[in-house]
């Protein structure tokens, strides 16, 4: 089964169709490893392999968003992000898969090793890349690239109430895996939290399933892009919309979610990182066999590893939700011979 939302709420399934882009359920994997404080066990939810071409958490959101776009007659999707944005790249990869043109409005970010490869993948896909942010005239850009093009605009990170629905279903999916004895019910789930759609939907899905699991939302963006108040509003909006479509979905679930906001691993901002984050990425690779990165998942792993080694740890069950793409991209990080669709302003990422 791949549609856990409609299985639990058939009326919602009638109203909220999705494209079958994700390979669900994504597996769970128990891992034992040694720490200076003794042996530890965690469970990994492997959303990194959620799609054969490009994994990660964005796939679940785009299943619902793309279906809505196609139903409304869109021929192109457009979205926003930083130069190395996982969301923008996932949107472009899946748009190609379903036959939609794609425009990505991309802004500058801190240099990281993944940015050149992401840009080269956009070049490979033929994404229409538009330099965005700074002193750029947004209104002129939108008129030029959005008007009269049958374009469906996907919000930053895919984080609207509709995108969050993908992770409401993910929470119900995890509950079914617990019932099937694939893993013990986790006391905590650690998830990288940027534009908050994944976290909001997951919190509601777990509440709908009656699980008491506590979500540790590890912040990876500056406060103006993500904060507890904005997260609460998105949870409330998602619950409201689902209740309007199907009154059997309890709107009061928004008040029953269990969330802990973790801002202490931001390391100075989006795409910035410190020693604790780089050590967590190394530990995940060497001890857990996971390929993470320092912008998102390394910070969530840093929070989990920190908590595992606290004196008050008493063997609670921790789950790491791997939101990173682990599928190999068919491009290198080398500077291309010709830029083609890569704006000249992004040459800085190849230096």
Most distant CA pair in the chain, distance: 61
Residue 90: which H helix or E strand, with range?
helix 86-98
Q: At what angle do helices 228-245 and 161-179 cross, to 10 degrees?
A: 80
Query: What pLDDT, in 10s, does the model give residues 210-251?
Result: 999 999 999 999 999 999 999 999 999 999 999 999 999 999
User: What percentage of the chain carries pLDDT values higher than 90?
Assistant: 91
CA 48/CA 102 separation, integer angstroms: 23
pLDDT band at residue 169, thresholds of 50, 70 and 90?
very high
pLDDT at 34: 80
Give the pLDDT confidence score for residue 312 in this predicted structure.
Answer: 86
**Residue 162 or 37, more confident:** 162
Contacts of 204 (CB under 8 A, 6+ apart): 164, 167, 168, 171, 235, 238, 239, 242, 253, 254, 257
Q: Is pLDDT above 80 for 36? A: no
Q: What is the pLDDT of residue 1?
A: 67
Tokens of 84: 């190395």
Q: pLDDT exceeding 70 applies to what percent of the chain?
A: 100
Contact between 2 and 24 (Cβ < 8 Å): yes
Question: If you average pLDDT over every residue of the chain, what do you get?
Answer: 95
pLDDT tens, position by position, 285-314:
998 999 999 999 999 999 999 999 898 888
Q: Which domains does the chain have, with CATH numbers?
A: 4-57+159-321 (3.40.50.1100), 58-158+336-350 (3.40.50.1100)
Q: Is the pLDDT of residue 183 over 80?
A: yes
Strand order in the sheet with 214-219: 28-35, 38-45, 318-321, 188-193, 214-219, 259-262
List pLDDT tens digits, range 85-138.
Answer: 999 999 999 999 999 999 999 999 999 889 999 999 999 999 999 999 888 889
Confidence (pLDDT) at 181: 97
């Amino acid at each position: 089964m791949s549609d856990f939302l409609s299985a639990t709420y058939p009326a919602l399934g009638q109203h909220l169709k999705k494209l079958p882009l994700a390979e669900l359920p994504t597996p769970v994997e128990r891992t034992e490893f040694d720490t200076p404080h003794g042996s530890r066990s965690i469970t990994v939810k492997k959303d990194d392999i959620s799609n054969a071409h490009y994994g990660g958490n964005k796939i679940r959101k785009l299943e619902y968003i793309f279906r809505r776009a196609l139903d409304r007659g869109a021929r192109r999707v457009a979205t926003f992000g930083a130069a190395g944005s996982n969301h923008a790249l996932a949107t472009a990869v899946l748009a190609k898969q379903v036959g939609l043109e794609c425009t990505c409005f991309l802004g500058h970010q801190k240099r990281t090793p993944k940015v050149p490869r992401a840009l080269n993948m956009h070049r490979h896909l033929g994404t229409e890349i538009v330099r965005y942010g700074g002193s750029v005239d947004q209104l002129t850009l939108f008129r030029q690239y959005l008007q009269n093009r049958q374009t469906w605009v996907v919000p930053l990170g895919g984080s609207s109430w509709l995108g969050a629905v993908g992770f409401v279903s993910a929470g119900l999916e995890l509950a079914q895996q617990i019932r099937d004895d694939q893993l013990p019910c986790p006391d905590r789930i650690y998830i990288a939290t940027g534009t908050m759609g994944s976290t909001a939907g997951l919190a509601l899905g777990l509440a709908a399933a009656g699980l008491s699991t506590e979500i540790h939302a590890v912040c990876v963006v500056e406060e103006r892009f993500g904060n507890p108040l904005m997260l609460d509003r998105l949870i409330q909006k998602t619950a409201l919309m689902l209740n309007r479509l199907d009154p059997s979905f309890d709107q009061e679930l928004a008040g029953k979610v269990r969330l802990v906001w973790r801002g202490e691993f931001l390391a100075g901002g989006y795409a910035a990182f410190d020693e604790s984050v780089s050590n967590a990425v190394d530990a995940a690779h060497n001890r857990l066999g996971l390929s993470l990165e320092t912008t998102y998942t390394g910070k969530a792993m840093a929070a989990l590893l920190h908590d595992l080694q606290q004196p008050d740890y008493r063997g609670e069950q921790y789950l790491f939700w791997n939101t990173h793409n682990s599928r190999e991209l068919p491009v290198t990080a080398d500077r291309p011979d010709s830029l083609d669709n890569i704006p000249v302003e992004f040459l800085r990422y190849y230096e």
